[in-house]
Amino acid sequence: MRDHKLNDSSFQLLLQKCGGYLENFGNEFKDQIIYLLFDLIENMKQNLNYLSISVFSCENFIECSSIVLQNLGQVIPFKLEYLYISIHIKNMSDFEVFLKNSQDTLIYMKKKRVKYLAIRHFFVSTSDDEVDENCCYKELASMKDEVENLSYRKGKI
């Protein structure tokens, strides 16, 4: 456990020193640094072209997913070419917040500035909040209604 904390602090220090120069970034974030993600993206905004986020290594990935959806749209770079998000969408209202907050960036999809948007939707087929053996993954591209709502943006979904 101590080595894990050391790795997290070393990683944070590395990102503070060179984060502004990164163009491509992807990581599975742990609970304790999920809020640093948004500061990091804000600091890397000018150079960041590719962003990949997965919250499934978080202890409470449902809550982390909600945090990402509610906050990412506010800091997402305008010139982003690639965005991959692997999250659990429990509340469609969280997804709507993400779309509303990232509207200026996603408008660039219509102008073909954003070339690729990938969202992996993780859902649970039972009514329990707990994830069990009945859960499965679903790509956004297989969700016909949601894709039709986004299709006018002319990006690859």
29-11-23-33 Cα dihedral, nearest 10 degrees: 30
pLDDT at site 102: 80
Contacts of 49 by beta carbon, 8 Å cutoff, 6+ apart: 23, 24, 79, 80, 81, 82
Lay out the sheet containing 50-54: strands in order across.
24-28, 50-54, 82-88, 116-123, 136-139
| Residue linked to tokens 């500061």 | 39
The rounded distance, in Å, linking the Cα atoms of 45 and 129 is: 35
pLDDT at site 59: 76
pLDDT at site 128: 45
pLDDT at site 70: 92
Stated pTM of the model: 0.61
Q: What is the tens place of the pLDDT at every residue in 59-93? A: 788 888 898 899 998 888 877 888 888 888 877 88
Question: Which residue numbers in the chain have pLDDT < 70?
Answer: 1-33, 104-157
The tokens describing 15, both together, are: 């990102």
The rounded distance, in Å, linking the Cα atoms of 16 and 9 is: 10
Share of the chain residues as helix, strand and coil, in percent rounded to the nearest 5: 50, 20, 30
The rounded distance, in Å, linking the Cα atoms of 57 and 105 is: 27
CB 141 within 8 A of CB 157: yes
